[in-house]
Structure 1
Amino acid sequence: MTNHIVLYEPLMPANTGNIARTCAGTNTELHLIRPLGFSTDDAQMKRAGLDYWDKVKITYHDDLDEFLDSVPDDQYLYLITKFSDKVYSDNDFSNTDVDHYFLFGKETTGLPEKFMRKNPEKCLRIPMSDNIRALNLANSCALVIYEAIRQQNFAGLELSHHYENDKLD
Structure 2
Amino acid sequence: MDIALYEPDIPQNTAAILRTAVCFDAAVHIVGPAAFDLSDRATRRAGLDYAATARLKRHTSFDNFKSAACGRIVLFTTRGTASLEAFSFAPDDTLLFGRESAGVPDAVHDAADAQVRIPLAPGARSLNLAVAVSIGLWQALSTTHQLNPKGPS
TM-score under structure 2 normalisation? 0.87
Query: RMSD value over aligned CA atoms?
Result: 2.0
CA distance in 1, matches of 2:111, 2:34: 24
Aligned to 1:116: 109
Number of residue pairs matched by the alignment: 150
CA distance in 1, matches of 2:14, 2:20: 10
CA distance in 1, matches of 2:127, 2:77: 11
AA aligned to 2:86 is D
Structure 1 portions without partners, runs of 5+: 161-169
**Equivalent residues in 2 for 1:48-127, closer than 5 Å:** 49-72=47-70, 75-93=71-89, 95-96=90-91, 99-117=92-110, 119=112, 122-127=114-119
AA aligned to 1:131 is G
TM-score under structure 1 normalisation? 0.80
Cα offset, 1:115, TM superposition: 2.9
Matched-pair identity in % = 27
Task: Tell me if structure 1 keeps the 8 A contact 2:10–2:35.
Answer: yes
Aligned to 1:17: 15
Quickly say closer, same or farther: Cα 1:46–1:87, change in 2 above 3 A: farther
Cα offset, 1:158, TM superposition: 1.6
Deviation by residue 1:1-49 (Cα, 9 ceiling, x = unmatched): xx11000000100000000000000000000011111113448x834x3
Structure 2 portions without partners, runs of 5+: none
Task: Tell me if structure 1 keeps the 8 A contact 2:24–2:148.
Answer: no
CA distance in 2, matches of 1:157, 1:107: 32
Task: Tell me if structure 2 keeps the 8 A contact 1:13–1:42.
Answer: no
Aligned to 2:127: 135
